[in-house]
Structures are given as structure tokens and as C-alpha cells.
Structure 1
Amino acid sequence: MKKLPVLLIFFRLLLGPVMIALTYNYGKSSAPVLVVLLFLGMLSDIFDGIVARSTGVSTAKLRRMDSQTDLVFWLCAGWCAWLLHPHIIINDQYAIITIFVMEAATYVLSILKFGKETCTHAWLSKLWGITLFIALTSIIGFGYGGVPLALAVIFGIVSHIDVYLIILLLPEWTHDVPSCYHAWLIRKGKPFKKYRMFNG
């Protein structure tokens, strides 16, 4: 069981290139399979952390690996959406570019302050991941952006602002910080309860 979190992370890492290969080779006919792989990737993202915390292997190294794998997986899924329905991406290109810029800024800010990338796994980031999953499922599976994509953009912006505040408030680098409020508690040296389902 202690090896399962790493296996789930590598499984998700492999899913991204597989999805891109399927998209290039089979085009829109690959959509049903891509949606299934998206779902499997989302499940692996949920359970790797839960299993890691349950088995006592939720180390900083593992959590950083998880975060970077998430980035690769979602970028690959986004690339598939672009390949299948470029008009949807083009119609919302400025909002999507804003999310990319905000994501890059979290890395810059964290590296400048702590010398390493951010790894908060904050609650709002998890909520953004859910809306992103729904949006990409809608685009890839049904060729529709609309409300799902708009919600993903809104929650993406809000969650990134939360991460900026977490980075600014934390006195030193740490992983699994539920929110900017909890970062403030850490800064003040005040204890708080963590929930095994969401953070260790």
C-alpha cells in the first residue's frame, strides 16, 4: 500500500502523453476514451493523497511530485481539447491565457521567496481542479465550452489569488496548506485541525 501513491502518480503522468497520442491518431473518434482517461486521472489525483496520508508516506517530496504531475496531466488534457475543438479555445483565449500567466506567476513568486515551487494543495485549488475536469470533459466529450469553461476560469482566478496570499503569508516553505487563512495561522504560530480527506 505504501507504494500505491507513487504508482498512482506515475499512472497519471503516463495518461497525459497517451491522451495526446490518441487524439493525434484518432481525432474526434477518440473523445469517449479520452473522457474515460480524464476520469481515471482525476480519481488517481484524489486517491494518491488519501492513500499517502493513510499509510504515513505523505512526504514533501511525494507532494511536490504530485503537484508537478498534475500540471503535466492538465496541460496534456488541455492540448487534447485544443486539438479537437480549437474554436472553443480561441473564443476564450484571453481568459485561458490569463490562467496560464497566473499559474506561471505562482512558480515565480514561490521560487523567489522559497527557492522552490509552490505545493499548497489548497482547498480552492482542489475545487478548481474539479471545475477544470468538468470543463475539459465538456469540451472533449461534447464540443461545448460555455458555462463549464466559464466556471473553470472563474475558480482558476480565485484559486490562484488564494495561492498568492498563501505564498506571501507563509514564513517558510511548507506543503498542504488548506487556504490563505491557514497560512496566516501558520504565520502566527497558531495550531489548526487538518482533515485527512483533504490535507494531511
Structure 2
Amino acid sequence: MKNIPYLLIAFRFLCAPIILVLAFYLKIEARIPILILMYLGLFSDIFDGIIARKAGVASEKLRRLDSQTDLVFWLSIGVATYLLFPELIKQNKVPIILIFVMEALCYIISFAKFGKETCTHAFLSKMWGLSLLLAFTSLLGFEYAGWAFRTSVVLGLISHLDVILIILILPKWQHDIPSCYHAWRIRHGKSIKKNIYFNS
């Protein structure tokens, strides 16, 4: 039971190079296999945290590993989408660049303040992950950006702002902080309540 979270993280990490190889060699025919791996990867992300919390192994090391694996996983899907539909990505390059800038800011601010990468696993970030699933389903499955892509961009910007506020508010580095409101309570010495299915 205690090893399952690590195995799920390893599965998601291994999905990344497979997704890139499929996109590079199979081109348009890789769409369905990539979508399947994307959904399996998301399910592994959901369950690794739940199982880790239930098994009592949601350590800093595990949560940091999980967070960085998420970044590698979603980046691989983004690169694969570009390889398959470069024009579609170029048409939407401004909001995509904005998301990358916000992601970089989260890391820069966290390293500047704590000397570590961010690892909040905030609730809004989880919602953004679900919106990414819809956006990439639209992009890869139907070669269409539309409302799913726009929703994902908006949620992405909001969730990154929430993470930045969490970093700025926290007095010291911590992992698994549900929101900037929870960070504010921690800063003022107040207890916070978390849900085992969403955060430890």
C-alpha cells in the first residue's frame, strides 16, 4: 500500500517520454493513444495523493516528487500537441506564453523566498488540472481550442496567482496548502482544516 503512490508517480513520469515518442513518430495517428495516456496519467495523479494520505506516507519528498512529475507530464502533452498541430498552438501563443510566465514566476518567487520549488497542491491548481484535461481533449481530439482552452487559460492564471499569494503569505515553506486563505490562517497561527480527498 505504501509503495503504490510511488508507482503511480513513476507511471505518470514514464508516460511523458512515451507521449513524446508517439507524437514524433506517429504524428496525427498518435492522438488517441496520447489522449488515453493523458487520462490514465490524470487518474494516477488523483489516486497517488489519496492513497498516500490514507497510508500515511504523504511526506515532503513524495509530494515534491509528485509536483515535479506533474510538470513534466503536462509539458510533454503540451509539446506533443505542438508537434501534431503547430499552427493551432501558434494561433493561441499569447495566452500560452502568459501561463508559462506565471509558472516561472511561481518557481522564481518560491526559490527566492524559501530556496525550494513550490509544492502547494492547492485546490485551484487541481481545478486547473481538470480544465487542462478538457482543453487538451479539445485540442488533440478535435483540433479545436474554443471554450475549453479559454476556460483553462483563465483558471490557469487564477490558480497561479493563488500559488504566488500562498508563497508570499506563508512564513516558512510548507507543502499541501489548499489556498491563500489557508496560508493566511497559518501565518496568523490558526489551524486549518483539510480534506483527505483533496489535500493532506
Cα RMSD after superposing both structures: 0.6
Does residue 181 of the first structure (1) align with residue 181 of the second (2)? yes
Distance 2:106 2:12 in 1: 22
Distance 1:23 1:89 in 2: 15
Distance 1:95 1:146 in 2: 13
Distance 2:57 2:90 in 1: 42
Relative to the length of structure 2, the TM-score reads 0.99
Structure 1 match to 2:123 = 123
Deviation at 1:123? 0.4
How many residues are matched?
200
1:82-97 to 2 correspondences below 5 Å: 82-97=82-97
Structure 2 match to 1:28 = 28
Counterpart of 2:126, as a letter, is K
Distance 1:147 1:80 in 2: 21
Structure 1 match to 2:81 = 81
Structure 2 match to 1:17 = 17
| SS of residue in 2 equivalent to 1:20 | helix
CA deviations over 1:146-180 (Å, ceiling 9, x no partner): 11111110000000100010000000000000000
Structure 1 match to 2:64 = 64
Structure 1 match to 2:163 = 163
Structure 1 match to 2:198 = 198
Distance 2:140 2:16 in 1: 14
- State percent identity of aligned pairs: 54
| 1:80–1:140 Cα contact (<8 Å) kept | no
Distance 2:112 2:192 in 1: 27
Structure 2 match to 1:113 = 113
Distance 1:137 1:78 in 2: 12
Structure 1: state its 5+ residue gaps.
Answer: none
Distance 1:23 1:111 in 2: 33
Distance 2:174 2:164 in 1: 14
Deviation at 1:190? 0.5
Structure 1 match to 2:102 = 102
Structure 2 match to 1:152 = 152
